[in-house]
Chains A and B, each alone.
Chain A
């Protein structure tokens, strides 16, 4: 987060105005920190219904703030209110201390229409179709900078051309908007927003109709504007992982209220996902960016919607990452998943922890105790299906394989094929028990057969439907 301190002279002149807005400012000395955009307790009422409920928000120069929330949570209404397109019932919006929404006395003054447009740019959710060419449409972004009868000059045209280059819209500069696709139109609007050179960019789902490449391009351009020009941006996004990747801060709206604000890690928690979106989700670090990545497991309504695994329990005997992927898949498919016995620091144990599974844990690198084993057996016996994963077996976890003998219905997962292997049976399981584990495993395979990992869900589904038929 970059909290830059604006020019001291400017700050002095207008700091008192901002502090008046909500009384938090401190205008005792110079160099008071105050935001580029301050949204103070804004409430918007549409058709007698409170859509945005007393939301406050500060944006600093160079900062991108993402607004997330479910449909109807008030994201667009908040953005439109800040942009001055909807009337606020109460509250104040100020740019650099100049109020743009909600007039009160003692402020830095109210901005006129054109002044406001020079400071706040708004990119709507839907890019309208119209009979102007793309180039003409982009050039309209210069409107607030031109006098009433001034014609667009060569510098304006140069700006428009550069913006079209950046948004990869140059190729259809001379085509009319009503001949372009929705995504192409959206990029034309983005170019117009760039040309407007506003201090604050208000963008309502700027990536909504774009393909993946152009989504990244759009977000990169927005970051460029904030990093290079020191603009600030508020972006409404539906893609939470995209929001986490590009935004310094996130604001989570729910029923018009701000229910969370902070870094993506602070805001994107499983609890918040449940409250705001009604979904069960996992938040994991993205392997490339390290930013939070949201994995959706299912909705609150999964149980009534009858997923294949609803009401059935699968126990995984795994370790060292051999069961991690199946855990996720089974959870998404609606199964109740249990696991054991997993040592501390084992990646399967971390996954089980994140997924909130019922599992038996053990200290690292120690043999399974009688007590752990008996708890493990309880889980194994309680499960409708038990899946034995191809983990390496040593003396410490030998009892895990023994536990599989107690399974009501067992699936043994084939070890993955190791590339370049010359053995007849492709892939084998690490055995550090002088062959005892392999022998036991062979016995289990004789009883219940062996399936590759990709077939596990299919086999479980088949067993499940057979069970349902025999129940009748």
Chain B
């Protein structure tokens, strides 16, 4: 990945311009890889479309030139593959950036977007939608219920952490674990107690995580939430740097600690909630991506957060494309694939960097 250019930043570094350099370099690299991947992902699948047809179709959609593809091919690209590609990218970006935020806030590279119970809340909401039959009423009910579930569980965890008027990150973490365990139990109980095998299958399928249900409608809803949330975090990225150094030190350097922390927690939760609502639970993206990006470009969140978003988007896009192709014509859920790739890769990183990376 982008490891090489970053580690070769000269001694006596010049962070002001380094921020620009690292950010533009990383964005250029990840951006061009993403564009290449969009073309590839539009081409491959049970119905293979030649790359040349795909490229001209995409250019046509972008308002450049004419598509050379057959109408069927164009239809497949436009209404089946592209929404899925975009959703995969946005969900991956959401998980990447919120993982970066959580790792920074908790000063721990083991933190992931779901650490304060957002994901399990979303799962419970989805389970409720499926079990109650609400998901059959409208296709939007499943993500809506999931999002509401995320929001409720996040609020509960916040309230737990604020008991006694003094907000505590440690209580937030422990409250998140407690709420997650409880909601996990509720989900499992629902699966076991329901008589309807179809409902069971749907729940398990949803929990495994994937973007295969993507339609333009889902992109239109998820993308703005994720985009706005990501934009907000860019405002406070530098404050997060100082928070990572220490709460007292941040405050003594003029950071509004409470405001910054709450802004970050809420936007990370909203971003994650939106991602979970449309994709279920996709493991390891939010954990591994910021971790790798940090190894490559350092811990400055002004660079780390935008590149984690791009990197997460690219990673999930690659993973989803692979999930479509590997067992073709059958499909692997992308959540299973990310965990299968992510976990060993993560172990590899841990072992390789054990001596130089602690970040706690």
Interface residues of A (CB under 8 A from B): 80, 83-85, 113-118, 120-122, 124, 128-133, 135-137, 139-141, 143-144, 148, 151-154, 156-157, 161, 170, 173-174, 176, 178-179, 189, 196
A201 to B104, CA, bound (A): 28
Q: Which of B221-278 contact A (CB under 8 A)?
A: 235, 238, 241-242, 244-246, 248-249, 251-256
Residues of A within 8 A of B254 (CB): 113-118, 143-144
Q: Is the CB of B12 within 8 A of A120?
A: no
Residues of B within 8 A of A140 (CB): 241-242, 245, 253
In angstroms, how far is the closest chain A Cβ from the Cβ of B18? Answer: 9
A272 to B14, CA, bound (A): 51
Q: Is the CB of B255 within 8 A of A157?
A: no
In angstroms, how far is the closest chain B Cβ from the Cβ of A174? Answer: 5
Q: Is the CB of B300 within 8 A of A161?
A: no
B contact residues, total (Cβ < 8 Å):
34
Q: Is the CB of A151 within 8 A of B17?
A: yes
22 contacts between A and B (CB under 8 A): A83-B252, A114-B254, A118-B254, A120-B252, A122-B249, A124-B246, A128-B249, A130-B107, A131-B358, A131-B359, A132-B241, A132-B298, A135-B12, A135-B13, A136-B299, A139-B15, A143-B238, A144-B253, A151-B19, A157-B14, A173-B13, A196-B253
Q: Which of B113-157 contact A (CB under 8 A)?
A: none
Closest A residue to B235 by beta carbon equals A148
Residues of B within 8 A of A154 (CB): 14, 16
Q: Is the CB of A131 within 8 A of B244?
A: yes
List the 8 closest A-B pairs by CB distance, nearest first. A117-B254, A122-B252, A152-B16, A114-B254, A131-B299, A144-B254, A151-B16, A128-B246
A118 to B11, CA, bound (A): 29
A178 to B11, CA, bound (A): 18
In angstroms, how far is the closest chain A Cβ from the Cβ of B23? Answer: 10
The answer to the question of B356 belonging to the interface, with a C-beta cut-off of 8 Å to chain A, is yes
Closest B residue to A113 by beta carbon equals B254
In angstroms, how far is the closest chain A Cβ from the Cβ of B85? Answer: 32
In angstroms, how far is the closest chain A Cβ from the Cβ of B175? Answer: 22
Q: Is the CB of A143 within 8 A of B16?
A: no
The answer to the question of B294 belonging to the interface, with a C-beta cut-off of 8 Å to chain A, is yes
CB contacts between A and B, total, < 8 Å: 107
Given contacts A140-B241, A140-B242, A151-B16, A129 and B253 within 8 Å (CB-CB): no
Q: Is the CB of A143 within 8 A of B253?
A: yes
Q: Is the CB of B252 within 8 A of A84?
A: yes
Residues of B within 8 A of A84 (CB): 251-252
Q: Is the CB of A179 within 8 A of B356?
A: yes
Residues of B within 8 A of A141 (CB): 253
The answer to the question of B357 belonging to the interface, with a C-beta cut-off of 8 Å to chain A, is yes
Q: Which of B14, B248, B294 contacts A122 (CB 8 A)?
A: B248
Closest B residue to A121 by beta carbon equals B252
The answer to the question of B20 belonging to the interface, with a C-beta cut-off of 8 Å to chain A, is yes
| Residue in B14, B17, B245, B246 with the greatest tally of chain A CB atoms within 10 Å | B245
Q: Is the CB of A133 within 8 A of B11?
A: no
A170 to B252, CA, bound (A): 24
Residues of A within 8 A of B238 (CB): 143, 148
Q: Is the CB of A173 within 8 A of B11?
A: yes
Residues of B within 8 A of A144 (CB): 253-254
Q: Is the CB of B245 within 8 A of A137?
A: yes
Closest B residue to A161 by beta carbon equals B12
| Residue in B17, B252, B357 with the greatest tally of chain A CB atoms within 10 Å | B252
14 more contacts with CB within 8 A, not counting A176-B299, A179-B356, A189-B249, are A85-B252, A113-B251, A124-B249, A130-B107, A133-B298, A136-B13, A136-B300, A139-B15, A140-B242, A143-B238, A143-B253, A151-B17, A153-B16, A157-B14
Residues of B within 8 A of A128 (CB): 245-246, 249
Q: Is the CB of B253 within 8 A of A117?
A: yes
Q: Is the CB of B251 within 8 A of A85?
A: yes
Residues of B within 8 A of A131 (CB): 244, 294, 298-299, 357-359
A122 to B246, CA, bound (A): 12
In angstroms, how far is the closest chain B Cβ from the Cβ of A173? Answer: 6
Q: Is the CB of B13 within 8 A of A130?
A: no
Residues of A within 8 A of B16 (CB): 151-154, 156-157
| Residue in B16, B238, B356 with the greatest tally of chain A CB atoms within 10 Å | B16
A112 to B139, CA, bound (A): 49
Closest B residue to A152 by beta carbon equals B16
Q: Which of B255, B294, B300, B359 contacts A113 (CB 8 A)?
A: B255
Given contacts A128-B246, A151-B20, A135 and B15 within 8 Å (CB-CB): yes
A140 to B299, CA, bound (A): 13
In angstroms, how far is the closest chain B Cβ from the Cβ of A274? Answer: 34
Q: Is the CB of B15 within 8 A of A130?
A: no
A209 to B28, CA, bound (A): 44
Residues of B within 8 A of A176 (CB): 299, 356
Given contacts A124-B246, A131-B244, A157 and B15 within 8 Å (CB-CB): yes
